Structure 1
Amino acid sequence: MAFQTIAEELNELVTNWVKKFENLPPPTISDRRNSQDRSIRQIVGHMVDSASNNTHRMVHLQYRESPVEFPNYATFGNNDRWIAIQNYQEENWSVLVNHWKFAHLHFIHVIRNINTEKLDQQWIADTNQFVSLKDMVEDFPRHFKLHIGEIEELLNQQ
């Protein structure tokens, strides 16, 4: 998938979902839980963390020697620690939605400006697991849609 196509797809998803998020009632965003025991607030917070961490990876991968050692915040339950430490469950919903929106809009901006000569640069995702800049960007929409799907499931609960 071309990066421009990824950027356009993500931009459309962000635009549509910001409107949906803004109209959700407090009990819906706070009380409904997915299979990981995360509320919509916490899923949205996790998506902020993902956009932020991946933005930093994209930047590092364009100037550091490959493979890049960069913390994988998602391993060993650390992403749940990030959610808890930042207390997304209690953050002002409007602030969180705006943070989500702008973190992803900035991510989109950065992928539109990637130096294509650096696409093969890799970061060490885990023991003997290397991920290229190209693969990381191309996989991001899948991860984004996975969490949007979780939110949709929670919204469809009765």
Structure 2
Amino acid sequence: MVMNVVVQDSVKELRHVINEYASRIASIPDAEMSVKPRPEKWSKKEVVGHLVDSAQNNLRRFICGQYESNPSISYEQDFWVTANAYQHMTTSDVINLWKLLNERISVILETMPSENYERQCIAGGHARTLAWLAQDYVKHLKHHLNQIIPNAFDIKYP
């Protein structure tokens, strides 16, 4: 199987982020992970939870996008974070869930037949190729990791 360069780079970068940052996040004291800067803002633990939700929704995009015609998969991020009650989970469970979901995404992207990279999925009201979504997924991930570990990545998103 030949991966296109965008997907190949996305998988490589995603694996690097998983391997490097799961342990870095886990080293942050639980008290720091649980602090909410303001009542309406997410704690660092909830930011990881948001990344779990993003992983779940993108996992669905990467799978359904391969066999459905223009599936529309979106989610209300604040509702998902609240409904999942990440603030009340142990930090290690949230991190492990994030890590496992991202490992699964890496495998799905890596084993996806190359003819499916240009298939489209509706995300955020826009038709996007699965290759574009893979690249954007990693950018989004880095953007939020910068909220947990400031200046971890030199990235502007969106």
Question: What is the distance in 2 between the residues matched to 1:86 and 1:5?
Answer: 31
Unaligned runs of 5+ in 1: none
Would the aligned equivalents of 1:22 and 1:94 in 2 still touch at CA under 8 Å? yes
After TM superposition, list the pairs within 5 Å mapping 1:71-90 onto structure 2.
71-73=73-75, 78-90=76-88
1:124 Cα deviation (Å)? 2.2
Match of 1:145? 142
Question: What is the distance in 2 between the residues matched to 1:7 and 1:134?
Answer: 11
Would the aligned equivalents of 2:45 and 2:87 in 1 still touch at CA under 8 Å? yes
Match of 1:57? 61
Question: What is the distance in 2 between the residues matched to 1:4 and 1:154?
Answer: 25
TM-score normalized by the length of structure 2: 0.84
Question: Which protein has the bigger helix share?
Answer: 1
1:41 aligns with 2:45: yes
Opposite residue 138 of structure 1, the aligned amino acid is Q
Aligned alpha-carbon RMSD (Å)? 2.0
Please state whether the residue corresponding to 2:118 is helix, strand or coil.
coil
Would the aligned equivalents of 1:40 and 1:151 in 2 still touch at CA under 8 Å? yes
TM-score normalized by the length of structure 1: 0.84
Give a deviation string over 1:77-122, Cα, whole Å, max 9, x none: x100000011001111111111011111111111101121122221
Would the aligned equivalents of 2:34 and 2:87 in 1 still touch at CA under 8 Å? yes
Percent identity between the aligned chains?
26
Runs of 4+ aligned structure 1 residues displaced above 6 Å come to none
